Structure 1
Amino acid sequence: MTKIDINGAGLAYDDAGSGTVVVLLHAGIADRRMWRSQVPALAERHRVLALDLRGYGESELPPAPFTHHDDVVGLLDALGVDRAALVGCSFGGRVAVDTALAHPERITAVALFGAPVSGTEWSEETEQVWEDLVGDVDPADLAATAAGEVRFWVVGPTRRPEDVDPGLIRFAEEMDRLALAAEQALSAVEVGELDPPAIDRLGDLGMPVLTAAGADDLADIRRLADRIADEAPHGTRLPDIPDAAHLLPLERPDAVNAALLDFLPAR
Protein backbone atom coordinates (compact mmCIF):
# COMPACT_ATOMS: atom_id res chain seq x y z
CA MET A 1 0.00 0.00 0.00
CA THR A 2 1.12 3.53 -0.84
CA LYS A 3 -0.44 6.73 0.43
CA ILE A 4 -0.15 10.04 -1.39
CA ASP A 5 -1.34 13.49 -0.37
CA ILE A 6 -4.17 14.80 -2.55
CA ASN A 7 -5.87 18.05 -1.49
CA GLY A 8 -4.49 17.92 2.01
CA ALA A 9 -5.20 14.28 2.91
CA GLY A 10 -3.75 10.91 2.04
CA LEU A 11 -5.26 8.64 -0.60
CA ALA A 12 -4.31 4.97 -0.26
CA TYR A 13 -3.70 2.79 -3.29
CA ASP A 14 -1.89 -0.30 -4.51
CA ASP A 15 0.43 0.07 -7.49
CA ALA A 16 1.37 -3.05 -9.46
CA GLY A 17 2.71 -3.92 -12.90
CA SER A 18 3.78 -1.73 -15.80
CA GLY A 19 2.32 -0.57 -19.08
CA THR A 20 -0.82 1.39 -19.82
CA VAL A 21 -2.51 2.56 -16.63
CA VAL A 22 -5.75 1.09 -15.27
CA VAL A 23 -7.45 2.52 -12.18
CA LEU A 24 -9.74 0.22 -10.18
CA LEU A 25 -12.60 1.90 -8.27
CA HIS A 26 -14.37 -0.17 -5.62
CA ALA A 27 -18.02 -0.56 -4.67
CA GLY A 28 -19.58 1.57 -1.94
CA ILE A 29 -19.94 -1.51 0.29
CA ALA A 30 -16.27 -2.40 -0.14
CA ASP A 31 -12.75 -1.05 -0.43
CA ARG A 32 -9.79 -1.69 -2.75
CA ARG A 33 -9.41 -5.25 -1.42
CA MET A 34 -12.34 -6.29 -3.60
CA TRP A 35 -9.95 -6.24 -6.58
CA ARG A 36 -7.67 -8.92 -5.10
CA SER A 37 -8.17 -11.20 -8.13
CA GLN A 38 -7.97 -8.46 -10.77
CA VAL A 39 -4.73 -6.76 -9.71
CA PRO A 40 -2.37 -9.69 -10.43
CA ALA A 41 -4.18 -10.65 -13.64
CA LEU A 42 -4.16 -7.14 -15.08
CA ALA A 43 -0.64 -6.33 -13.84
CA GLU A 44 0.80 -8.83 -16.31
CA ARG A 45 0.40 -6.18 -19.00
CA HIS A 46 -0.82 -2.97 -17.29
CA ARG A 47 0.16 -0.65 -14.49
CA VAL A 48 -2.72 -1.18 -12.07
CA LEU A 49 -3.75 1.39 -9.46
CA ALA A 50 -6.33 0.05 -6.98
CA LEU A 51 -7.58 3.08 -5.10
CA ASP A 52 -9.39 3.46 -1.79
CA LEU A 53 -11.88 6.23 -2.50
CA ARG A 54 -11.78 9.18 -0.13
CA GLY A 55 -12.72 8.15 3.40
CA TYR A 56 -12.89 4.43 2.58
CA GLY A 57 -10.33 1.77 3.47
CA GLU A 58 -7.06 3.44 4.35
CA SER A 59 -7.76 6.77 2.61
CA GLU A 60 -8.21 9.86 4.76
CA LEU A 61 -10.91 12.51 4.84
CA PRO A 62 -9.83 15.90 3.47
CA PRO A 63 -10.04 19.18 5.39
CA ALA A 64 -12.03 20.86 2.59
CA PRO A 65 -14.85 19.99 0.15
CA PHE A 66 -13.94 17.50 -2.57
CA THR A 67 -15.35 15.34 -5.34
CA HIS A 68 -14.49 11.69 -5.89
CA HIS A 69 -14.04 12.22 -9.63
CA ASP A 70 -11.54 15.02 -9.10
CA ASP A 71 -9.67 12.81 -6.62
CA VAL A 72 -9.18 10.20 -9.35
CA VAL A 73 -7.58 12.76 -11.66
CA GLY A 74 -5.65 14.20 -8.70
CA LEU A 75 -4.07 10.78 -8.24
CA LEU A 76 -3.14 10.63 -11.93
CA ASP A 77 -1.63 14.12 -11.72
CA ALA A 78 0.38 13.25 -8.61
CA LEU A 79 1.79 10.15 -10.31
CA GLY A 80 2.52 11.92 -13.60
CA VAL A 81 0.02 9.80 -15.54
CA ASP A 82 -1.47 11.54 -18.57
CA ARG A 83 -4.26 9.07 -19.38
CA ALA A 84 -5.77 5.96 -17.84
CA ALA A 85 -8.57 3.45 -18.24
CA LEU A 86 -11.09 3.21 -15.41
CA VAL A 87 -12.73 0.05 -14.06
CA GLY A 88 -15.55 0.54 -11.58
CA CYS A 89 -17.91 -1.70 -9.66
CA SER A 90 -21.16 -0.33 -8.23
CA PHE A 91 -20.43 3.09 -6.67
CA GLY A 92 -16.95 2.92 -8.17
CA GLY A 93 -18.62 2.68 -11.58
CA ARG A 94 -20.56 5.84 -10.82
CA VAL A 95 -17.28 7.58 -9.95
CA ALA A 96 -15.71 6.23 -13.15
CA VAL A 97 -18.50 7.65 -15.33
CA ASP A 98 -18.40 11.00 -13.54
CA THR A 99 -14.63 11.14 -14.02
CA ALA A 100 -14.92 10.30 -17.71
CA LEU A 101 -17.47 13.09 -18.20
CA ALA A 102 -15.63 15.68 -16.11
CA HIS A 103 -12.17 14.88 -17.54
CA PRO A 104 -12.71 13.12 -20.88
CA GLU A 105 -9.24 13.96 -22.18
CA ARG A 106 -7.70 11.89 -19.36
CA ILE A 107 -9.72 8.68 -19.74
CA THR A 108 -9.03 6.09 -22.46
CA ALA A 109 -11.77 3.54 -21.64
CA VAL A 110 -14.35 2.74 -18.97
CA ALA A 111 -15.43 -0.74 -17.80
CA LEU A 112 -18.45 -0.95 -15.49
CA PHE A 113 -19.69 -3.85 -13.37
CA GLY A 114 -23.08 -3.45 -11.72
CA ALA A 115 -22.79 0.32 -11.95
CA PRO A 116 -25.35 3.03 -11.29
CA VAL A 117 -24.63 6.54 -12.53
CA SER A 118 -25.14 9.91 -10.88
CA GLY A 119 -28.74 11.03 -11.20
CA THR A 120 -30.11 7.48 -11.14
CA GLU A 121 -33.54 7.11 -9.55
CA TRP A 122 -34.34 3.69 -8.13
CA SER A 123 -37.64 2.11 -9.10
CA GLU A 124 -40.43 1.21 -6.70
CA GLU A 125 -39.58 -2.40 -7.53
CA THR A 126 -36.10 -1.98 -6.04
CA GLU A 127 -37.48 -0.24 -2.95
CA GLN A 128 -39.87 -3.15 -2.46
CA VAL A 129 -37.04 -5.66 -2.80
CA TRP A 130 -35.23 -3.85 0.01
CA GLU A 131 -38.34 -4.01 2.19
CA ASP A 132 -38.82 -7.69 1.44
CA LEU A 133 -35.20 -8.74 2.01
CA VAL A 134 -33.98 -6.32 4.68
CA GLY A 135 -36.75 -4.15 6.12
CA ASP A 136 -36.01 -1.64 8.88
CA VAL A 137 -32.46 -1.74 10.26
CA ASP A 138 -31.01 0.53 12.92
CA PRO A 139 -28.34 2.52 11.02
CA ALA A 140 -26.32 2.79 14.23
CA ASP A 141 -25.94 -1.01 14.25
CA LEU A 142 -23.19 -1.36 11.67
CA ALA A 143 -23.07 -5.15 11.84
CA ALA A 144 -26.82 -5.52 11.26
CA THR A 145 -26.79 -2.89 8.51
CA ALA A 146 -23.85 -4.58 6.78
CA ALA A 147 -25.60 -7.95 6.97
CA GLY A 148 -28.71 -6.40 5.42
CA GLU A 149 -26.79 -4.68 2.64
CA VAL A 150 -24.86 -7.83 1.82
CA ARG A 151 -28.13 -9.78 1.69
CA PHE A 152 -29.53 -7.17 -0.71
CA TRP A 153 -26.50 -6.62 -2.93
CA VAL A 154 -24.20 -9.64 -2.70
CA VAL A 155 -26.75 -12.42 -2.38
CA GLY A 156 -29.29 -10.53 -4.49
CA PRO A 157 -33.05 -10.76 -4.90
CA THR A 158 -33.20 -14.11 -6.69
CA ARG A 159 -30.91 -16.22 -4.48
CA ARG A 160 -30.82 -17.43 -0.89
CA PRO A 161 -27.80 -16.87 1.37
CA GLU A 162 -27.06 -20.59 1.33
CA ASP A 163 -26.65 -20.36 -2.46
CA VAL A 164 -23.61 -18.10 -2.06
CA ASP A 165 -20.08 -18.89 -0.91
CA PRO A 166 -20.07 -18.20 2.85
CA GLY A 167 -16.52 -16.90 2.61
CA LEU A 168 -17.68 -14.24 0.14
CA ILE A 169 -20.49 -13.23 2.47
CA ARG A 170 -18.13 -12.94 5.46
CA PHE A 171 -15.60 -10.89 3.50
CA ALA A 172 -18.30 -8.62 2.07
CA GLU A 173 -19.78 -8.01 5.53
CA GLU A 174 -16.34 -7.20 6.92
CA MET A 175 -15.68 -4.65 4.16
CA ASP A 176 -19.18 -3.20 4.44
CA ARG A 177 -18.91 -2.57 8.18
CA LEU A 178 -15.85 -0.44 7.47
CA ALA A 179 -17.56 1.22 4.50
CA LEU A 180 -20.58 2.15 6.63
CA ALA A 181 -18.30 3.77 9.19
CA ALA A 182 -16.63 5.64 6.33
CA GLU A 183 -20.00 6.88 5.08
CA GLN A 184 -20.87 8.17 8.54
CA ALA A 185 -17.61 10.12 8.60
CA LEU A 186 -18.18 11.37 5.05
CA SER A 187 -21.54 12.80 6.09
CA ALA A 188 -19.64 15.48 8.02
CA VAL A 189 -17.70 16.56 4.90
CA GLU A 190 -18.98 18.42 1.84
CA VAL A 191 -18.83 15.97 -1.06
CA GLY A 192 -19.41 17.59 -4.45
CA GLU A 193 -21.48 16.02 -7.21
CA LEU A 194 -21.15 16.11 -10.99
CA ASP A 195 -23.40 18.87 -12.32
CA PRO A 196 -25.38 18.14 -14.38
CA PRO A 197 -25.40 14.46 -13.37
CA ALA A 198 -24.38 11.66 -15.69
CA ILE A 199 -27.73 9.97 -16.31
CA ASP A 200 -28.68 12.32 -19.16
CA ARG A 201 -25.12 12.72 -20.50
CA LEU A 202 -24.24 9.15 -21.41
CA GLY A 203 -24.04 10.11 -25.06
CA ASP A 204 -21.03 12.30 -24.18
CA LEU A 205 -18.92 9.30 -23.24
CA GLY A 206 -16.66 9.33 -26.26
CA MET A 207 -14.30 6.57 -25.17
CA PRO A 208 -14.99 2.81 -25.36
CA VAL A 209 -17.38 1.75 -22.59
CA LEU A 210 -17.99 -1.82 -21.43
CA THR A 211 -20.94 -2.68 -19.18
CA ALA A 212 -21.77 -5.89 -17.36
CA ALA A 213 -24.09 -7.12 -14.63
CA GLY A 214 -24.75 -10.30 -12.72
CA ALA A 215 -27.82 -12.29 -13.72
CA ASP A 216 -28.87 -12.27 -10.04
CA ASP A 217 -28.41 -8.51 -9.54
CA LEU A 218 -31.27 -6.03 -9.28
CA ALA A 219 -33.33 -5.47 -12.42
CA ASP A 220 -32.58 -1.73 -12.14
CA ILE A 221 -28.85 -2.44 -12.34
CA ARG A 222 -29.23 -4.70 -15.36
CA ARG A 223 -31.41 -2.12 -17.12
CA LEU A 224 -28.82 0.56 -16.41
CA ALA A 225 -26.12 -1.61 -17.97
CA ASP A 226 -28.31 -1.81 -21.07
CA ARG A 227 -28.92 1.94 -21.12
CA ILE A 228 -25.29 2.94 -20.67
CA ALA A 229 -24.16 0.63 -23.47
CA ASP A 230 -26.98 1.81 -25.74
CA GLU A 231 -26.37 5.53 -25.23
CA ALA A 232 -22.57 5.61 -25.10
CA PRO A 233 -21.40 5.96 -28.73
CA HIS A 234 -18.84 3.18 -28.31
CA GLY A 235 -20.69 1.09 -25.73
CA THR A 236 -20.58 -2.70 -25.44
CA ARG A 237 -22.90 -4.74 -23.23
CA LEU A 238 -21.68 -8.13 -22.05
CA PRO A 239 -24.32 -10.83 -21.50
CA ASP A 240 -25.40 -11.10 -17.88
CA ILE A 241 -22.97 -13.28 -15.95
CA PRO A 242 -24.85 -16.28 -14.50
CA ASP A 243 -24.98 -17.16 -10.81
CA ALA A 244 -23.65 -13.78 -9.72
CA ALA A 245 -25.06 -10.61 -8.22
CA HIS A 246 -23.53 -7.22 -7.50
CA LEU A 247 -19.86 -7.81 -6.65
CA LEU A 248 -18.91 -9.50 -9.90
CA PRO A 249 -15.13 -9.01 -9.59
CA LEU A 250 -15.16 -10.95 -6.31
CA GLU A 251 -17.77 -13.55 -7.16
CA ARG A 252 -16.80 -14.35 -10.76
CA PRO A 253 -13.17 -13.21 -11.09
CA ASP A 254 -12.29 -15.42 -14.05
CA ALA A 255 -15.12 -14.02 -16.19
CA VAL A 256 -14.32 -10.45 -15.15
CA ASN A 257 -10.59 -10.84 -15.77
CA ALA A 258 -11.16 -12.32 -19.22
CA ALA A 259 -13.55 -9.50 -20.14
CA LEU A 260 -11.10 -6.83 -18.95
CA LEU A 261 -8.08 -8.30 -20.67
CA ASP A 262 -10.06 -8.46 -23.90
CA PHE A 263 -11.41 -4.91 -23.53
CA LEU A 264 -8.63 -2.76 -22.08
CA PRO A 265 -6.19 -1.14 -24.51
CA ALA A 266 -2.74 -2.67 -24.25
CA ARG A 267 -0.97 0.46 -25.47
Structure 2
Amino acid sequence: MNKIEVNGTSLAYDDTGSGTPVVLLHAGIADRRMWREQIGPLAARHRVIAVDLRGYGDSELPPAPFAHHDDVAGLLDALDIPSAALVGCSFGGAVAVDVALAHPQRVTALALLGTAVSGHEWSEEANELWERLVGEVDPEDFVASAAGEVRFWVVGPGRDPEDVDPELIAFATEMDQRALAAELALSAVDVAELDPPAIGRLAELRMPVLVTAGAADVPDISRLADQIAAEAPYATRLPDVPAAGHLLPLERPAPVNAALLDFLP
Protein backbone atom coordinates (compact mmCIF):
# COMPACT_ATOMS: atom_id res chain seq x y z
CA MET A 1 0.00 0.00 0.00
CA ASN A 2 1.12 3.53 -0.83
CA LYS A 3 -0.17 6.86 0.46
CA ILE A 4 0.00 10.22 -1.25
CA GLU A 5 -1.16 13.75 -0.43
CA VAL A 6 -3.99 14.86 -2.71
CA ASN A 7 -6.03 18.05 -2.28
CA GLY A 8 -5.29 18.26 1.44
CA THR A 9 -5.87 14.61 2.29
CA SER A 10 -3.95 11.33 2.21
CA LEU A 11 -5.20 8.76 -0.30
CA ALA A 12 -4.23 5.10 -0.14
CA TYR A 13 -3.49 3.31 -3.38
CA ASP A 14 -1.74 0.33 -4.96
CA ASP A 15 0.50 0.99 -7.96
CA THR A 16 1.39 -2.08 -10.01
CA GLY A 17 2.92 -2.74 -13.42
CA SER A 18 4.06 -0.40 -16.17
CA GLY A 19 2.65 0.86 -19.42
CA THR A 20 -0.32 3.06 -20.17
CA PRO A 21 -1.99 4.09 -16.88
CA VAL A 22 -5.32 2.70 -15.70
CA VAL A 23 -7.06 3.89 -12.51
CA LEU A 24 -9.51 1.54 -10.80
CA LEU A 25 -12.37 3.17 -8.84
CA HIS A 26 -14.25 0.97 -6.39
CA ALA A 27 -17.95 0.58 -5.64
CA GLY A 28 -19.57 2.43 -2.76
CA ILE A 29 -20.09 -0.86 -0.92
CA ALA A 30 -16.41 -1.75 -1.25
CA ASP A 31 -12.86 -0.41 -1.35
CA ARG A 32 -9.83 -0.86 -3.57
CA ARG A 33 -9.56 -4.54 -2.58
CA MET A 34 -12.51 -5.34 -4.86
CA TRP A 35 -10.07 -5.17 -7.80
CA ARG A 36 -7.89 -8.04 -6.53
CA GLU A 37 -8.75 -10.19 -9.58
CA GLN A 38 -8.02 -7.41 -12.10
CA ILE A 39 -4.69 -5.98 -10.94
CA GLY A 40 -2.46 -8.89 -12.00
CA PRO A 41 -3.89 -9.43 -15.48
CA LEU A 42 -4.05 -5.70 -16.27
CA ALA A 43 -0.55 -5.02 -14.87
CA ALA A 44 0.94 -7.28 -17.53
CA ARG A 45 0.32 -4.42 -19.98
CA HIS A 46 -0.59 -1.36 -17.91
CA ARG A 47 0.39 0.72 -14.91
CA VAL A 48 -2.56 -0.12 -12.67
CA ILE A 49 -3.53 2.23 -9.83
CA ALA A 50 -6.25 1.04 -7.46
CA VAL A 51 -7.21 3.85 -5.10
CA ASP A 52 -9.39 4.14 -2.01
CA LEU A 53 -11.60 7.17 -2.55
CA ARG A 54 -11.51 9.75 0.22
CA GLY A 55 -12.92 8.36 3.47
CA TYR A 56 -12.99 4.76 2.22
CA GLY A 57 -10.59 1.93 2.99
CA ASP A 58 -7.23 3.29 4.12
CA SER A 59 -7.76 6.84 2.81
CA GLU A 60 -8.28 9.72 5.20
CA LEU A 61 -11.24 12.10 5.57
CA PRO A 62 -10.34 15.62 6.71
CA PRO A 63 -13.38 17.80 7.50
CA ALA A 64 -12.77 20.20 4.58
CA PRO A 65 -15.15 20.32 1.58
CA PHE A 66 -14.07 18.29 -1.46
CA ALA A 67 -15.25 16.50 -4.60
CA HIS A 68 -14.38 12.91 -5.43
CA HIS A 69 -13.90 13.75 -9.11
CA ASP A 70 -11.39 16.47 -8.23
CA ASP A 71 -9.54 14.03 -5.98
CA VAL A 72 -9.06 11.63 -8.90
CA ALA A 73 -7.68 14.45 -11.05
CA GLY A 74 -5.50 15.45 -8.10
CA LEU A 75 -4.22 11.89 -7.79
CA LEU A 76 -3.13 11.99 -11.43
CA ASP A 77 -1.36 15.30 -10.73
CA ALA A 78 0.38 13.90 -7.67
CA LEU A 79 1.57 10.85 -9.62
CA ASP A 80 2.64 13.02 -12.59
CA ILE A 81 0.23 11.22 -14.94
CA PRO A 82 -1.12 13.53 -17.68
CA SER A 83 -4.08 11.27 -18.53
CA ALA A 84 -5.35 7.77 -17.79
CA ALA A 85 -8.09 5.30 -18.56
CA LEU A 86 -10.62 5.00 -15.73
CA VAL A 87 -12.34 1.76 -14.77
CA GLY A 88 -15.22 2.14 -12.34
CA CYS A 89 -17.81 -0.09 -10.73
CA SER A 90 -21.06 1.26 -9.26
CA PHE A 91 -20.30 4.48 -7.34
CA GLY A 92 -16.75 4.33 -8.70
CA GLY A 93 -18.20 4.37 -12.19
CA ALA A 94 -20.22 7.47 -11.33
CA VAL A 95 -17.04 9.14 -10.08
CA ALA A 96 -15.24 8.10 -13.28
CA VAL A 97 -17.96 9.67 -15.44
CA ASP A 98 -17.83 12.84 -13.35
CA VAL A 99 -14.04 13.01 -13.80
CA ALA A 100 -14.47 12.62 -17.55
CA LEU A 101 -16.95 15.50 -17.63
CA ALA A 102 -15.12 17.81 -15.20
CA HIS A 103 -11.61 17.04 -16.49
CA PRO A 104 -12.07 15.57 -19.99
CA GLN A 105 -8.45 16.10 -20.99
CA ARG A 106 -7.33 13.74 -18.21
CA VAL A 107 -9.38 10.70 -19.32
CA THR A 108 -8.37 8.56 -22.32
CA ALA A 109 -11.12 5.96 -21.94
CA LEU A 110 -13.91 4.89 -19.59
CA ALA A 111 -14.82 1.32 -18.66
CA LEU A 112 -18.03 1.26 -16.62
CA LEU A 113 -19.06 -1.95 -14.87
CA GLY A 114 -22.49 -1.96 -13.25
CA THR A 115 -22.16 1.77 -13.00
CA ALA A 116 -24.17 4.43 -11.24
CA VAL A 117 -24.47 7.92 -12.76
CA SER A 118 -24.66 11.17 -10.79
CA GLY A 119 -28.14 12.68 -10.90
CA HIS A 120 -29.87 9.39 -11.69
CA GLU A 121 -33.05 8.75 -9.70
CA TRP A 122 -33.85 5.16 -8.80
CA SER A 123 -37.05 3.75 -10.23
CA GLU A 124 -40.08 2.82 -8.19
CA GLU A 125 -39.31 -0.77 -9.12
CA ALA A 126 -35.89 -0.51 -7.45
CA ASN A 127 -37.42 1.02 -4.33
CA GLU A 128 -40.01 -1.75 -4.16
CA LEU A 129 -37.31 -4.40 -4.58
CA TRP A 130 -35.41 -2.87 -1.66
CA GLU A 131 -38.51 -2.96 0.51
CA ARG A 132 -39.18 -6.58 -0.42
CA LEU A 133 -35.64 -7.86 -0.03
CA VAL A 134 -34.31 -5.68 2.80
CA GLY A 135 -36.91 -3.41 4.38
CA GLU A 136 -36.09 -0.89 7.08
CA VAL A 137 -32.62 -1.09 8.63
CA ASP A 138 -31.00 1.14 11.24
CA PRO A 139 -28.33 3.00 9.24
CA GLU A 140 -26.00 2.99 12.25
CA ASP A 141 -26.25 -0.80 12.56
CA PHE A 142 -23.42 -1.60 10.15
CA VAL A 143 -23.82 -5.36 10.51
CA ALA A 144 -27.52 -5.35 9.59
CA SER A 145 -27.06 -2.66 6.94
CA ALA A 146 -24.21 -4.52 5.26
CA ALA A 147 -26.21 -7.75 5.27
CA GLY A 148 -29.10 -5.92 3.59
CA GLU A 149 -26.93 -4.21 1.00
CA VAL A 150 -25.11 -7.42 0.13
CA ARG A 151 -28.46 -9.19 -0.25
CA PHE A 152 -29.73 -6.44 -2.55
CA TRP A 153 -26.62 -5.69 -4.59
CA VAL A 154 -24.27 -8.67 -4.50
CA VAL A 155 -26.85 -11.45 -4.53
CA GLY A 156 -29.42 -9.49 -6.53
CA PRO A 157 -33.21 -9.67 -6.75
CA GLY A 158 -33.41 -12.83 -8.87
CA ARG A 159 -31.11 -15.06 -6.83
CA ASP A 160 -30.99 -16.54 -3.35
CA PRO A 161 -27.89 -16.16 -1.16
CA GLU A 162 -27.29 -19.90 -1.54
CA ASP A 163 -26.75 -19.30 -5.26
CA VAL A 164 -23.67 -17.14 -4.63
CA ASP A 165 -20.17 -18.17 -3.53
CA PRO A 166 -20.12 -17.83 0.29
CA GLU A 167 -16.55 -16.48 0.20
CA LEU A 168 -17.72 -13.66 -2.07
CA ILE A 169 -20.60 -12.87 0.28
CA ALA A 170 -18.27 -12.87 3.30
CA PHE A 171 -15.69 -10.63 1.58
CA ALA A 172 -18.35 -8.24 0.26
CA THR A 173 -19.96 -8.04 3.71
CA GLU A 174 -16.64 -7.21 5.37
CA MET A 175 -15.88 -4.50 2.81
CA ASP A 176 -19.40 -3.08 3.06
CA GLN A 177 -19.33 -2.80 6.84
CA ARG A 178 -16.19 -0.69 6.48
CA ALA A 179 -17.73 1.31 3.62
CA LEU A 180 -20.85 2.06 5.68
CA ALA A 181 -18.68 3.54 8.40
CA ALA A 182 -17.03 5.66 5.72
CA GLU A 183 -20.38 6.84 4.38
CA LEU A 184 -21.55 7.82 7.86
CA ALA A 185 -18.40 9.91 8.29
CA LEU A 186 -18.81 11.38 4.79
CA SER A 187 -22.34 12.51 5.66
CA ALA A 188 -20.80 15.03 8.07
CA VAL A 189 -18.52 16.52 5.38
CA ASP A 190 -19.42 18.87 2.51
CA VAL A 191 -19.02 16.61 -0.54
CA ALA A 192 -19.48 18.64 -3.72
CA GLU A 193 -21.48 17.03 -6.53
CA LEU A 194 -20.91 17.60 -10.23
CA ASP A 195 -23.15 20.47 -11.35
CA PRO A 196 -25.01 19.90 -13.57
CA PRO A 197 -24.93 16.15 -12.89
CA ALA A 198 -23.82 13.55 -15.40
CA ILE A 199 -27.20 11.99 -16.16
CA GLY A 200 -28.09 14.83 -18.55
CA ARG A 201 -24.60 15.15 -20.02
CA LEU A 202 -23.69 11.70 -21.30
CA ALA A 203 -23.44 13.02 -24.85
CA GLU A 204 -20.45 15.09 -23.68
CA LEU A 205 -18.35 11.95 -23.13
CA ARG A 206 -16.07 12.23 -26.15
CA MET A 207 -13.69 9.38 -25.27
CA PRO A 208 -14.19 5.63 -25.89
CA VAL A 209 -16.62 4.18 -23.34
CA LEU A 210 -17.16 0.51 -22.53
CA VAL A 211 -20.25 -0.34 -20.51
CA THR A 212 -21.71 -3.54 -19.14
CA ALA A 213 -23.56 -4.85 -16.08
CA GLY A 214 -24.18 -8.04 -14.20
CA ALA A 215 -27.16 -10.01 -15.48
CA ALA A 216 -28.25 -10.69 -11.88
CA ASP A 217 -27.99 -7.05 -10.82
CA VAL A 218 -30.89 -4.70 -10.07
CA PRO A 219 -32.64 -3.92 -13.40
CA ASP A 220 -31.99 -0.17 -13.07
CA ILE A 221 -28.26 -0.83 -13.51
CA SER A 222 -28.71 -2.58 -16.85
CA ARG A 223 -31.00 0.23 -18.00
CA LEU A 224 -28.36 2.79 -17.06
CA ALA A 225 -25.86 0.86 -19.15
CA ASP A 226 -28.30 1.01 -22.07
CA GLN A 227 -28.72 4.76 -21.60
CA ILE A 228 -24.99 5.43 -21.52
CA ALA A 229 -24.50 3.34 -24.66
CA ALA A 230 -27.31 5.21 -26.43
CA GLU A 231 -26.13 8.71 -25.51
CA ALA A 232 -22.33 8.62 -25.29
CA PRO A 233 -21.14 8.96 -28.89
CA TYR A 234 -18.24 6.49 -28.69
CA ALA A 235 -19.77 3.92 -26.36
CA THR A 236 -19.75 0.14 -26.74
CA ARG A 237 -22.40 -1.82 -24.86
CA LEU A 238 -21.31 -5.35 -24.02
CA PRO A 239 -23.99 -7.90 -23.10
CA ASP A 240 -24.71 -8.23 -19.40
CA VAL A 241 -22.31 -10.67 -17.73
CA PRO A 242 -24.18 -13.91 -16.91
CA ALA A 243 -24.39 -15.11 -13.29
CA ALA A 244 -23.03 -11.83 -11.91
CA GLY A 245 -24.47 -9.30 -9.51
CA HIS A 246 -23.31 -5.78 -8.73
CA LEU A 247 -19.67 -6.64 -7.95
CA LEU A 248 -19.12 -8.37 -11.27
CA PRO A 249 -15.32 -7.80 -11.33
CA LEU A 250 -15.08 -9.98 -8.22
CA GLU A 251 -17.75 -12.51 -9.11
CA ARG A 252 -16.88 -13.07 -12.78
CA PRO A 253 -13.30 -11.88 -13.25
CA ALA A 254 -12.54 -13.90 -16.39
CA PRO A 255 -15.01 -12.20 -18.78
CA VAL A 256 -14.44 -8.82 -17.13
CA ASN A 257 -10.66 -9.08 -17.50
CA ALA A 258 -10.96 -10.22 -21.11
CA ALA A 259 -13.22 -7.27 -21.92
CA LEU A 260 -10.91 -4.79 -20.20
CA LEU A 261 -7.77 -6.10 -21.88
CA ASP A 262 -9.50 -5.93 -25.25
CA PHE A 263 -10.74 -2.38 -24.65
CA LEU A 264 -8.08 -0.48 -22.72
CA PRO A 265 -5.66 1.58 -24.79
TM range (shorter): over 0.9
Deviations 1:188-207 (A, max 9, x none): 11100000000010000000
Q: Distance in 1 between matches of 2:6 and 2:207?
A: 26
In 1, Cα distance between the equivalents of 2:63 and 2:126? 35
1:57 aligns with 2:57: yes
Over aligned residue pairs, what C-alpha RMSD do you find? Answer: 0.6
Provide the residue aligned with 2:155 in structure 1: 155
Count of aligned positions:
265
Q: Please report the TM-score for the alignment, with normalisation by the length of structure 1.
A: 0.98
Name the residue aligned to 1:203: 203
1:33 is matched with: 33
What secondary structure sits across from 1:5 in the alignment?
strand
- How many percent identity over aligned positions? 74
Where does residue 3 of structure 2 map in the other structure? 3
Runs of 4+ in 1 over 4 A off after TM superposition: none
Counterparts of 1:63 and 1:18, CA distance in 2: 35
Does 2:248 match 1:221?
Answer: no
1:44 aligns with 44
Residue 81 of structure 2 is matched in structure 1 by: 81
How far the C-alpha of 1:63 sits from its partner, in A, is 3.8
The answer for the alignment partner of 2:131 in structure 1 is: 131
Q: How many Å apart are 1:133 and its aligned residue?
A: 0.3
**Structure 1, unaligned stretches of length 5 or more?**
none
Matched residue of 1:47: which SS? strand
1:23-82 alpha-carbon deviations (Å, 9 max, x no partner): 000000000000001001100000000000000000001341100000001000001000
Cα offset for 1:177? 0.2
1:18 corresponds in structure 2 to 18
CA distance in 2, matches of 1:119, 1:17: 35
Task: Map Cα deviations across residues 217-251 of structure 1 (whole Å, 9 max, x no partner).
Answer: 11110000011011000000000111111001000
Contact 1:8/1:63 (8 A) holds in 2: no
Distance 1:93 1:209 in 2: 11
Distance 1:204 1:89 in 2: 20
On the 8 A contact 1:9/1:63 being kept in 2, the answer is no
The answer for the alignment partner of 1:233 in structure 2 is 233
Q: Deviation per CA, 1:103-138, whole angstroms, max 9, x where unpaired?
A: 001100000011010000000000000000000111
Gaps of 5+ in 2: none
1:139-192 Cα shifts (integer Å, max 9, x gaps): 121000000000000000000000000000000000000000000111111100
Task: State the TM-score, normalizing by the size of structure 2.
Answer: 0.99
- For 2:144, the aligned partner's letter is A
1 CA distance for matches of 2:77 and 2:4? 11
Cα contact 1:150–1:173 (8 A) shared by 2: yes
Amino acid in structure 2 at the alignment position of 1:44: A
Q: Which residue of 1 aligns with 2:174?
A: 174
Counterpart of 2:175, as a letter, is: M
SS of 2:240's equivalent in the other structure is: coil
Query: What residue identity is the alignment partner of 1:125?
Result: E
Whole-angstrom distance in 1 between the partners of 2:83 and 2:9: 23
Cα deviation for residue 8 of structure 1 reads 1.9
Name the CA distance, whole Å, in 2 between partners of 1:8 and 1:102: 19
Q: Distance between the aligned counterparts of 1:237 and 1:189, measured in 2?
A: 36
Structure 2 equivalent of residue 103 of structure 1: 103
Contact 1:88 1:113 in 2 (8 A): yes
Distance 1:115 1:215 in 2: 13
- State the SS of the aligned residue for 2:180: helix
Amino acid at match of 2:185: A
